[in-house]
Structure 1
Amino acid sequence: ASRRTAALNAYVSGFGSTRRIVLYDTTLEQLSAEEVESIVAHELGHVVHRDVLTGTLVGALGAAAAVALSGWLLSWTPLLRRAGARSPADPAVVPLVLLLLSVGGLLSTPVQNLVSRQVETRADLRALDLTGDAGAFIGMQRALAATNLSDPEPPAAWQWFFGSHPTGAQRIAFAEDWQRLEDAG
Protein backbone atom coordinates (compact mmCIF):
# COMPACT_ATOMS: atom_id res chain seq x y z
CA ALA A 1 0.00 0.00 0.00
CA SER A 2 2.90 2.39 0.67
CA ARG A 3 3.46 2.68 -3.09
CA ARG A 4 -0.03 4.20 -3.43
CA THR A 5 -0.70 6.01 -0.15
CA ALA A 6 0.68 7.08 3.21
CA ALA A 7 -2.68 6.29 4.87
CA LEU A 8 -3.02 3.75 7.65
CA ASN A 9 -5.69 1.14 7.07
CA ALA A 10 -6.89 -2.39 7.74
CA TYR A 11 -10.00 -4.24 6.68
CA VAL A 12 -11.67 -7.63 6.48
CA SER A 13 -12.22 -9.07 3.04
CA GLY A 14 -14.26 -12.04 1.90
CA PHE A 15 -16.43 -14.47 3.83
CA GLY A 16 -16.39 -18.16 4.56
CA SER A 17 -13.05 -19.80 3.76
CA THR A 18 -11.92 -16.73 1.76
CA ARG A 19 -11.93 -14.38 4.79
CA ARG A 20 -8.78 -12.31 5.26
CA ILE A 21 -7.70 -9.46 7.51
CA VAL A 22 -5.63 -7.06 5.46
CA LEU A 23 -3.19 -4.66 7.15
CA TYR A 24 -1.47 -1.96 5.12
CA ASP A 25 2.31 -2.01 5.39
CA THR A 26 2.08 1.65 6.45
CA THR A 27 0.01 0.53 9.45
CA LEU A 28 2.58 -2.07 10.47
CA GLU A 29 5.47 0.38 10.04
CA GLN A 30 3.99 3.40 11.83
CA LEU A 31 2.06 1.96 14.77
CA SER A 32 3.26 0.23 17.90
CA ALA A 33 2.68 -3.50 18.34
CA GLU A 34 -0.10 -2.75 20.87
CA GLU A 35 -1.83 -0.38 18.46
CA VAL A 36 -1.63 -2.95 15.64
CA GLU A 37 -3.05 -5.53 18.04
CA SER A 38 -5.96 -3.18 18.71
CA ILE A 39 -6.62 -2.82 14.97
CA VAL A 40 -6.51 -6.58 14.46
CA ALA A 41 -8.88 -7.05 17.41
CA HIS A 42 -11.26 -4.53 15.81
CA GLU A 43 -11.15 -6.42 12.51
CA LEU A 44 -11.71 -9.70 14.37
CA GLY A 45 -14.86 -8.08 15.75
CA HIS A 46 -16.08 -7.75 12.16
CA VAL A 47 -15.18 -11.41 11.55
CA VAL A 48 -16.97 -12.67 14.67
CA HIS A 49 -20.14 -10.76 13.78
CA ARG A 50 -19.92 -11.78 10.08
CA ASP A 51 -20.16 -8.13 9.06
CA VAL A 52 -18.87 -8.66 5.50
CA LEU A 53 -21.42 -11.40 4.77
CA THR A 54 -24.23 -9.47 6.44
CA GLY A 55 -23.29 -6.28 4.60
CA THR A 56 -23.17 -8.12 1.30
CA LEU A 57 -26.58 -9.72 1.87
CA VAL A 58 -28.18 -6.48 3.07
CA GLY A 59 -26.67 -4.63 0.10
CA ALA A 60 -28.02 -7.25 -2.32
CA LEU A 61 -31.49 -7.05 -0.73
CA GLY A 62 -31.36 -3.26 -0.89
CA ALA A 63 -30.36 -3.37 -4.55
CA ALA A 64 -33.18 -5.82 -5.30
CA ALA A 65 -35.67 -3.58 -3.49
CA ALA A 66 -34.38 -0.55 -5.44
CA VAL A 67 -34.78 -2.40 -8.75
CA ALA A 68 -38.30 -3.52 -7.80
CA LEU A 69 -39.28 0.00 -6.73
CA SER A 70 -37.75 1.47 -9.90
CA GLY A 71 -39.66 -1.06 -12.02
CA TRP A 72 -42.89 -0.16 -10.28
CA LEU A 73 -42.28 3.59 -10.64
CA LEU A 74 -41.28 3.25 -14.29
CA SER A 75 -44.50 1.40 -15.05
CA TRP A 76 -46.63 4.09 -13.41
CA THR A 77 -48.28 5.90 -16.32
CA PRO A 78 -48.76 9.32 -14.63
CA LEU A 79 -45.04 9.47 -13.77
CA LEU A 80 -44.03 8.43 -17.29
CA ARG A 81 -46.30 11.09 -18.79
CA ARG A 82 -44.84 13.70 -16.43
CA ALA A 83 -41.35 12.71 -17.66
CA GLY A 84 -42.49 12.95 -21.28
CA ALA A 85 -42.04 9.22 -21.92
CA ARG A 86 -44.56 6.84 -23.48
CA SER A 87 -43.16 3.65 -21.93
CA PRO A 88 -40.26 2.42 -19.78
CA ALA A 89 -38.42 1.60 -23.05
CA ASP A 90 -38.70 5.18 -24.34
CA PRO A 91 -35.29 6.96 -24.31
CA ALA A 92 -37.08 9.97 -22.80
CA VAL A 93 -37.23 7.97 -19.54
CA VAL A 94 -33.43 8.26 -19.01
CA PRO A 95 -33.60 11.57 -17.08
CA LEU A 96 -36.30 10.09 -14.85
CA VAL A 97 -34.15 7.03 -14.14
CA LEU A 98 -31.22 9.30 -13.24
CA LEU A 99 -33.47 11.36 -10.98
CA LEU A 100 -34.78 8.23 -9.25
CA LEU A 101 -31.23 6.94 -8.72
CA SER A 102 -30.11 10.30 -7.32
CA VAL A 103 -33.06 10.62 -4.94
CA GLY A 104 -32.69 6.99 -3.86
CA GLY A 105 -29.01 7.49 -3.12
CA LEU A 106 -29.68 10.74 -1.28
CA LEU A 107 -32.32 9.11 0.93
CA SER A 108 -30.43 5.88 1.61
CA THR A 109 -26.99 7.35 2.40
CA PRO A 110 -27.72 8.51 5.97
CA VAL A 111 -29.44 5.21 6.77
CA GLN A 112 -26.52 3.18 5.41
CA ASN A 113 -24.04 5.31 7.34
CA LEU A 114 -26.03 5.04 10.59
CA VAL A 115 -25.90 1.24 10.32
CA SER A 116 -22.20 1.36 9.41
CA ARG A 117 -21.38 3.53 12.45
CA GLN A 118 -23.18 1.05 14.71
CA VAL A 119 -21.26 -1.87 13.16
CA GLU A 120 -17.97 -0.01 13.64
CA THR A 121 -18.80 0.80 17.27
CA ARG A 122 -19.60 -2.86 17.93
CA ALA A 123 -16.19 -3.83 16.45
CA ASP A 124 -14.52 -1.15 18.61
CA LEU A 125 -16.14 -2.67 21.71
CA ARG A 126 -14.93 -6.11 20.66
CA ALA A 127 -11.38 -4.73 20.25
CA LEU A 128 -11.43 -3.16 23.70
CA ASP A 129 -12.84 -6.31 25.27
CA LEU A 130 -10.27 -8.54 23.51
CA THR A 131 -7.19 -6.45 24.24
CA GLY A 132 -8.21 -4.76 27.49
CA ASP A 133 -5.99 -1.88 26.37
CA ALA A 134 -7.87 1.39 25.98
CA GLY A 135 -4.57 3.31 25.88
CA ALA A 136 -3.41 1.48 22.76
CA PHE A 137 -6.85 1.91 21.17
CA ILE A 138 -6.77 5.66 21.86
CA GLY A 139 -3.20 5.95 20.55
CA MET A 140 -4.19 4.07 17.41
CA GLN A 141 -7.20 6.34 16.85
CA ARG A 142 -5.04 9.45 17.24
CA ALA A 143 -2.45 8.08 14.80
CA LEU A 144 -5.15 7.16 12.28
CA ALA A 145 -6.70 10.63 12.48
CA ALA A 146 -3.36 12.42 12.17
CA THR A 147 -1.91 10.28 9.38
CA ASN A 148 -5.14 10.00 7.37
CA LEU A 149 -5.85 13.73 7.85
CA SER A 150 -9.29 13.05 9.33
CA ASP A 151 -11.34 15.84 10.80
CA PRO A 152 -11.59 14.75 14.46
CA GLU A 153 -14.89 16.60 14.97
CA PRO A 154 -16.66 17.32 11.68
CA PRO A 155 -19.89 19.33 11.72
CA ALA A 156 -22.72 17.20 13.13
CA ALA A 157 -24.84 17.39 9.98
CA TRP A 158 -21.86 16.34 7.85
CA GLN A 159 -21.11 13.40 10.15
CA TRP A 160 -24.78 12.37 10.24
CA PHE A 161 -25.02 12.31 6.45
CA PHE A 162 -21.55 11.26 5.27
CA GLY A 163 -19.90 9.62 8.30
CA SER A 164 -19.53 5.89 7.73
CA HIS A 165 -17.44 5.53 10.91
CA PRO A 166 -17.68 7.26 14.28
CA THR A 167 -15.38 10.28 14.46
CA GLY A 168 -11.98 9.94 16.06
CA ALA A 169 -13.21 12.02 19.00
CA GLN A 170 -16.25 9.76 19.43
CA ARG A 171 -14.09 6.63 19.33
CA ILE A 172 -11.63 8.04 21.86
CA ALA A 173 -14.49 9.07 24.19
CA PHE A 174 -15.96 5.56 23.79
CA ALA A 175 -12.62 4.00 24.82
CA GLU A 176 -12.31 6.36 27.78
CA ASP A 177 -15.84 5.44 28.90
CA TRP A 178 -14.98 1.75 28.45
CA GLN A 179 -11.88 2.22 30.65
CA ARG A 180 -13.88 4.03 33.36
CA LEU A 181 -16.37 1.15 33.44
CA GLU A 182 -13.55 -1.40 33.61
CA ASP A 183 -11.90 0.51 36.47
CA ALA A 184 -15.20 0.70 38.33
CA GLY A 185 -15.55 -3.08 38.06
Structure 2
Amino acid sequence: MVLAHEMGHQQLGHLWKMTLLQAATMTLALISLQVFFWGPEAYWGAGGIGDLSNLPLVFLISTLLLFLLSPAKNAFSRFWERQADLFSLDLTGKPEAFVSFMEGVAKRNLADKNPHPLIEFLFYTHPSISRRISLARGK
Protein backbone atom coordinates (compact mmCIF):
# COMPACT_ATOMS: atom_id res chain seq x y z
CA MET A 1 0.00 0.00 0.00
CA VAL A 2 2.79 2.40 0.91
CA LEU A 3 4.66 1.75 -2.32
CA ALA A 4 1.50 2.25 -4.39
CA HIS A 5 0.77 5.50 -2.47
CA GLU A 6 4.29 6.82 -3.11
CA MET A 7 4.03 5.79 -6.77
CA GLY A 8 0.89 7.94 -6.87
CA HIS A 9 2.87 10.94 -5.68
CA GLN A 10 5.43 10.27 -8.41
CA GLN A 11 2.89 9.73 -11.19
CA LEU A 12 0.81 12.77 -10.21
CA GLY A 13 3.80 15.15 -9.99
CA HIS A 14 3.28 16.04 -6.34
CA LEU A 15 6.99 16.53 -5.63
CA TRP A 16 7.20 19.33 -8.16
CA LYS A 17 3.93 20.87 -7.04
CA MET A 18 5.01 20.89 -3.39
CA THR A 19 8.42 22.32 -4.33
CA LEU A 20 6.74 25.15 -6.26
CA LEU A 21 4.30 25.76 -3.41
CA GLN A 22 7.17 25.91 -0.91
CA ALA A 23 9.10 28.30 -3.16
CA ALA A 24 6.04 30.54 -3.49
CA THR A 25 5.49 30.50 0.27
CA MET A 26 9.09 31.42 1.00
CA THR A 27 9.05 34.15 -1.65
CA LEU A 28 5.89 35.63 -0.15
CA ALA A 29 7.41 35.49 3.34
CA LEU A 30 10.65 37.17 2.20
CA ILE A 31 8.78 39.90 0.31
CA SER A 32 6.60 40.51 3.37
CA LEU A 33 9.71 40.79 5.55
CA GLN A 34 11.28 43.27 3.16
CA VAL A 35 8.10 45.38 3.06
CA PHE A 36 7.88 45.29 6.87
CA PHE A 37 11.44 46.54 7.24
CA TRP A 38 11.04 49.47 4.84
CA GLY A 39 8.99 51.32 7.46
CA PRO A 40 11.11 50.65 10.60
CA GLU A 41 14.32 51.41 8.71
CA ALA A 42 13.11 54.91 7.92
CA TYR A 43 11.25 55.44 11.22
CA TRP A 44 13.50 53.79 13.82
CA GLY A 45 16.80 54.07 12.05
CA ALA A 46 17.10 50.30 12.35
CA GLY A 47 19.52 49.12 9.69
CA GLY A 48 16.88 47.19 7.76
CA ILE A 49 16.57 43.48 7.25
CA GLY A 50 20.34 43.09 6.85
CA ASP A 51 21.11 44.56 10.29
CA LEU A 52 22.06 41.73 12.66
CA SER A 53 20.42 43.52 15.57
CA ASN A 54 17.10 42.88 13.83
CA LEU A 55 17.67 39.11 13.60
CA PRO A 56 15.31 38.23 16.50
CA LEU A 57 12.59 40.36 14.89
CA VAL A 58 13.22 38.73 11.50
CA PHE A 59 12.85 35.28 13.11
CA LEU A 60 9.67 36.31 14.93
CA ILE A 61 8.02 37.82 11.86
CA SER A 62 9.02 34.98 9.54
CA THR A 63 7.76 32.40 12.04
CA LEU A 64 4.42 34.21 12.29
CA LEU A 65 4.11 34.54 8.51
CA LEU A 66 4.88 30.88 7.90
CA PHE A 67 2.44 29.89 10.66
CA LEU A 68 -0.30 31.98 9.04
CA LEU A 69 0.41 30.44 5.63
CA SER A 70 0.58 26.85 6.92
CA PRO A 71 -3.20 26.09 6.82
CA ALA A 72 -3.24 26.83 3.08
CA LYS A 73 -0.11 24.73 2.48
CA ASN A 74 -1.56 21.93 4.60
CA ALA A 75 -4.81 22.01 2.58
CA PHE A 76 -2.84 21.48 -0.64
CA SER A 77 -0.87 18.68 1.02
CA ARG A 78 -4.04 16.93 2.25
CA PHE A 79 -5.52 17.18 -1.24
CA TRP A 80 -2.41 15.62 -2.79
CA GLU A 81 -2.32 12.90 -0.12
CA ARG A 82 -5.95 12.05 -0.92
CA GLN A 83 -5.06 11.82 -4.61
CA ALA A 84 -2.16 9.47 -3.77
CA ASP A 85 -4.48 7.37 -1.59
CA LEU A 86 -6.96 7.09 -4.48
CA PHE A 87 -4.13 6.15 -6.83
CA SER A 88 -2.96 3.39 -4.48
CA LEU A 89 -6.51 2.08 -4.07
CA ASP A 90 -7.03 2.02 -7.84
CA LEU A 91 -3.65 0.41 -8.46
CA THR A 92 -3.97 -2.35 -5.88
CA GLY A 93 -7.72 -2.84 -5.90
CA LYS A 94 -7.50 -3.85 -2.23
CA PRO A 95 -9.36 -1.33 -0.07
CA GLU A 96 -9.44 -3.69 2.94
CA ALA A 97 -5.64 -3.95 2.87
CA PHE A 98 -5.52 -0.14 2.91
CA VAL A 99 -7.96 0.00 5.85
CA SER A 100 -5.95 -2.62 7.73
CA PHE A 101 -2.73 -0.69 7.10
CA MET A 102 -4.28 2.59 8.30
CA GLU A 103 -5.64 0.92 11.44
CA GLY A 104 -2.17 -0.48 12.15
CA VAL A 105 -0.49 2.89 11.60
CA ALA A 106 -2.96 4.57 13.95
CA LYS A 107 -2.40 1.94 16.62
CA ARG A 108 1.42 1.97 16.37
CA ASN A 109 1.63 5.77 16.36
CA LEU A 110 -1.10 6.27 18.98
CA ALA A 111 -2.73 8.57 16.44
CA ASP A 112 -5.99 10.38 16.97
CA LYS A 113 -8.07 8.74 14.25
CA ASN A 114 -10.73 11.43 14.32
CA PRO A 115 -9.26 14.80 15.37
CA HIS A 116 -11.33 17.95 15.74
CA PRO A 117 -11.85 19.45 12.25
CA LEU A 118 -10.17 22.73 13.27
CA ILE A 119 -7.07 20.88 14.46
CA GLU A 120 -6.97 18.91 11.23
CA PHE A 121 -7.42 22.09 9.16
CA LEU A 122 -4.67 24.00 10.97
CA PHE A 123 -2.02 21.35 11.52
CA TYR A 124 -2.50 18.13 9.54
CA THR A 125 -0.56 17.60 6.31
CA HIS A 126 -2.39 14.30 5.71
CA PRO A 127 -6.10 13.56 5.96
CA SER A 128 -7.08 12.08 9.30
CA ILE A 129 -7.02 8.29 9.61
CA SER A 130 -10.82 8.18 9.77
CA ARG A 131 -11.12 10.18 6.52
CA ARG A 132 -8.62 7.90 4.79
CA ILE A 133 -10.46 4.80 5.98
CA SER A 134 -13.79 6.27 4.83
CA LEU A 135 -12.26 6.98 1.44
CA ALA A 136 -11.08 3.37 1.11
CA ARG A 137 -14.41 1.94 2.23
CA GLY A 138 -16.21 4.12 -0.29
CA LYS A 139 -14.11 2.67 -3.11
TM-score (norm: length of structure 2): 0.88
Unaligned 5+ runs, structure 2: none
For the residues of structure 2 that align with 1:172 and 1:51, how far apart are their CA atoms?
22
2:105 counterpart of 1:149: no
For the residues of structure 1 that align with 2:56 and 2:7, how far apart are their CA atoms?
44
2:47 counterpart of 1:87: yes
Q: Normalized per residue, which structure has more helix?
A: 2
Structure having the higher Rg: 1
- Aligned positions, number: 138
1:118-137 matched pairs, under 5 angstroms: 118-137=79-98
SS in 1 for 2:31: helix
Unaligned 5+ runs, structure 1: 1-37, 179-185
1:1-185 matched pairs, under 5 angstroms: 38-75=1-38, 77=39, 79-80=40-41, 84-88=44-48, 89-178=50-139
Structure 1 residue 100, shift from structure 2 partner: 1.4
Letter in 1 for 2:135: F
Structure 1 outlier segments of 4+, above 2 Å: 79-82, 84-87, 89-96
- 8 Å CA contact 1:85–1:91 kept in 2: the answer is no
Percent sequence identity over aligned pairs: 30
TM-score (norm: length of structure 1): 0.67
